[in-house]
């Protein structure tokens, strides 16, 4: 099981051979705990993407296909691309205006010195229902992570495994200090439950209400969920936890072989390139019938059939001051630091969490272990390290931050293991996700925010790939319904 981990580290991973309770080894009990997968037959068939996707970098100023009856979409992240996909399927003309030099928004991948660098550590959960409907997974060539994690605590790495997909690993890890045996049983049993209808609270309250001990919350759930919601306080809505937990149980965590940016690239590949304009920042929306959209270059476009605003929350609040946000907390921030390494201590495609409660690293992994395509052929390994917040001071240089990370990880793996690591790039993401603490309205939020003006984006649903895709569909559906009336 740990063959892929080098010898020194293997000694640090703690297993002990207790006598396992008999009922845990009973096949019937294990089968009973198995969560049913979301049946593919219950979902509409995916539209296969074109095999050769169009690049996400389109011409900054192509011949616009905007006709006088056009719909304008502002923002080319997942929400805007989803809205465009639905409008295109309905054969409605649209023009998507994106301010940056590429599509994808927060979901982009850079190619640097032969390495694929996702702009922040991101994973696709293959059980995301909307993603399953909209994306063609086989073309994404998804590479799964190990279903579980290694957790650094008390100077060692401890394994936490999905009890249903890695039952042996899970049994072997029962006695480790990442929670009690009871905690692990509670987690297993919670997986079986249907989506909860219990009242919305914070994740922290929900975990305690489940009966989980502080040791599993602090050592596993806090770093694991902080890696997803950038919220080590666990003040995010329990609804998000329930959704993610269910998806994790029903599918894999995966990376597309060509980087996370392959997701928007696939969506864009099914749209007419003449309907997309990059480097076209919208300065303002002038209400009216139809609403006008003013671009940074001085151009004004009339959104005859309506405008879909698919930008991030801060920009949405600027463009549409009439929308209200219940958020009282600052947006979530993160720093993702990439290193090139000649030597790495772990060779598995596994997520590694900081369960020590100390240091600035929250989670890390070796993307080249997940897919060799993340690095040059036969070359060095790629290391991805995520820090929640700003890593202890926005004023620090990337080099200072990287030096601290390497020092810290030297304490995990041994200084000789990290001595070859060289900083490749650091991404400081000031707005990773909106605040999602309760009360939230993750479903059924009306996208109509003005006459002919519709809104979407992760802040109008849930701050996940799936939430952004759902919100884009809802905005397009509302617009289509309205223009048909």
Contacts to ligand FAD by CB under 6 A: 74-80, 97-100, 105-107, 120, 122-123, 281-282, 310-312, 315, 334, 429, 432-433, 457-458, 463-465, 468
List alpha helices for 210-312, DSSP H.
214-216, 222-229, 238-250, 262-269
Nearest to 256 by CA among 371, 168, 357, 337: 371
Burial class of residue 79, CB neighbours in 10 A (0-12, 13-18, 19+): buried
Q: How far is the CB of 409 from ligand FAD (least distance, A)?
A: 19
Buried b (16+ CB within 10 A) or exposed e, 45-72: ebeebeeebbebebeeeeebebeeebbb
Beta strands across the sheet bearing 453-455: 276-277, 94-97, 71-74, 306-309, 453-455, 448-450
Q: Output the CA angle 405-407-408, nearest 5 degrees.
A: 65
Sequence-ordered list of residues with C-beta below 8 angstroms from that of 169, at least 6 positions apart, any chain = 1, 148, 159, 161
For ligand FAD, which is the closer residue by CB, 179 or 367? 367
For ligand FAD, which is the closer residue by CB, 356 or 362? 362
Q: How far is the CB of 478 from ligand FAD (least distance, A)?
A: 16
Q: How far is the CB of 100 from ligand FAD (least distance, A)?
A: 4
For ligand FAD, which is the closer residue by CB, 334 or 354? 334
For ligand FAD, which is the closer residue by CB, 341 or 351? 351
For ligand FAD, which is the closer residue by CB, 75 or 148? 75
Q: Are 379 and 312 in contact (CB under 8 A)?
A: no
Q: How far is the CB of 345 from ligand FAD (least distance, A)?
A: 24
Positions of E strands within 268-343? 276-277, 282-286, 292-295, 300-302, 306-309, 332-341
What is the length of the chain?
485
For ligand FAD, which is the closer residue by CB, 223 or 457? 457
Q: How far is the CB of 53 from ligand FAD (least distance, A)?
A: 17
Q: How far is the CB of 23 from ligand FAD (least distance, A)?
A: 35
Cis? peptide before 290, omega within 30° of 0: yes
Distance CA 462, CA 162 (A): 25
Element at 42 (helix H, strand E): none
Q: How far is the CB of 198 from ligand FAD (least distance, A)?
A: 23
Nearest to 436 by CA among 264, 198, 242: 242
Q: How far is the CB of 217 from ligand FAD (least distance, A)?
A: 21
For residue 458, count other CB atoms closer than 10 A to its CB. 27
For ligand FAD, which is the closer residue by CB, 104 or 179? 104
CB under 8 A, 24+ apart: contacts of 376-379: 376/113, 376/114, 376/115, 379/114
For ligand FAD, which is the closer residue by CB, 162 or 312? 312
Cα–Cα distance list, 97 to 92, 266, 478 (Å) = 16, 18, 20
Q: How far is the CB of 3 from ligand FAD (least distance, A)?
A: 28
Q: How far is the CB of 344 from ligand FAD (least distance, A)?
A: 22
Sign of the Cα pseudo-torsion (43, 47, 51, 55, in order): negative
Q: How far is the CB of 429 from ligand FAD (least distance, A)?
A: 5
For ligand FAD, which is the closer residue by CB, 174 or 316? 316
Distance CA 432, CA 316 (A): 15
Q: How far is the CB of 156 from ligand FAD (least distance, A)?
A: 27
For ligand FAD, which is the closer residue by CB, 362 or 368? 362
For residue 265, count other CB atoms closer than 10 A to its CB. 27
Element at 408 (helix H, strand E): helix 398-413
SS3 assignment, position 306: strand
For ligand FAD, which is the closer residue by CB, 75 or 452? 75
Q: How far is the CB of 319 from ligand FAD (least distance, A)?
A: 6
Name beta bridge partners: 448.
454
Sequence-ordered list of residues with C-beta below 8 angstroms from that of 404, at least 6 positions apart, any chain = 360, 391, 392
For ligand FAD, which is the closer residue by CB, 79 or 303? 79
For ligand FAD, which is the closer residue by CB, 77 or 355? 77
């Amino acid at each position: 099981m740990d063959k892929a981990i080098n010898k020194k580290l293997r000694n640090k991973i703690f297993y002990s051979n207790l006598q396992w309770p008999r009922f845990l080894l009973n096949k019937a009990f294990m089968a009973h705990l198995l969560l049913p997968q979301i049946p593919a037959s219950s979902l509409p068939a995916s539209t296969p993407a074109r095999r050769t996707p169009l690049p996400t970098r389109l011409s900054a100023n192509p011949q616009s296909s905007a006709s006088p009856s056009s719909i304008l979409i502002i923002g080319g992240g997942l929400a805007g691309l989803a809205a465009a996909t639905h409008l295109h399927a309905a054969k409605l003309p649209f023009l998507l205006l994106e301010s940056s030099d590429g599509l994808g928004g927060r979901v982009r991948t850079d190619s640097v010195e032969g390495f694929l660098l996702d702009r922040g550590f991101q994973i696709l959960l293959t059980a995301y229902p909307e993603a399953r409907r909209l994306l063609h997974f086989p073309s994404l060539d998804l590479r799964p992570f190990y279903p579980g994690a290694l957790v650094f605590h008390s100077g060692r790495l401890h394994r936490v495994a999905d009890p249903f997909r890695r039952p042996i690993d899970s049994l072997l890890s029962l006695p480790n200090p990442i929670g009690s045996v009871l905690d692990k049983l509670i987690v297993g049993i919670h997986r079986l439950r249907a989506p909860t209808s219990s009242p919305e609270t914070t994740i922290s309250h929900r975990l305690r209400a489940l009966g989980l001990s502080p040791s599993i919350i602090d050592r596993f759930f806090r770093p694991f969920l902080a890696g997803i919601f950038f919220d080590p306080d666990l003040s995010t809505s329990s609804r998000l936890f329930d959704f993610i937990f269910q998806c994790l149980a029903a599918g894999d965590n995966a990376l597309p072989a060509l980087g996370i940016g392959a997701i928007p690239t696939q969506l864009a590949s099914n749209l007419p390139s003449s309907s997309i304009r990059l480097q076209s920042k919208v300065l303002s929306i002038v209400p009216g019938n139809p609403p006008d959209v003013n671009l940074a270059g001085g151009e004004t476009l009339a959104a005859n059939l309506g405008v879909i605003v698919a930008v991030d929350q801060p920009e949405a609040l600027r463009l549409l001051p009439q929308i209200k946000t219940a958020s009282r907390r600052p947006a979530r921030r993160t720093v993702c630091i990439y290193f090139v390494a000649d030597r790495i201590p772990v060779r598995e495609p596994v997520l590694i969490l900081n369960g020590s409660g100390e240091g600035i690293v929250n989670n890390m992994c070796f993307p080249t272990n997940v897919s060799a395509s993340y690095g040059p052929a036969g070359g060095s390994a790629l290391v991805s390290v995520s820090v929640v917040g700003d890593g202890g001071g926005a004023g620090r240089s990337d080099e200072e931050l990287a030096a601290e990370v390497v020092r810290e990880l030297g304490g995990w793996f041994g200084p000789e293991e990290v001595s070859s690591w060289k900083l490749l790039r650091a991404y400081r993401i000031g707005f990773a996700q909106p605040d999602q603490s309760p009360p939230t309205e993750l479903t059924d939020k009306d996208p109509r925010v003005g006459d002919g003006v519709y809104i979407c984006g992760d802040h109008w649903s849930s701050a996940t790939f799936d939430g952004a895709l759902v919100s884009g569909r809802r905005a397009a559906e509302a617009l289509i319904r309205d223009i048909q009336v």
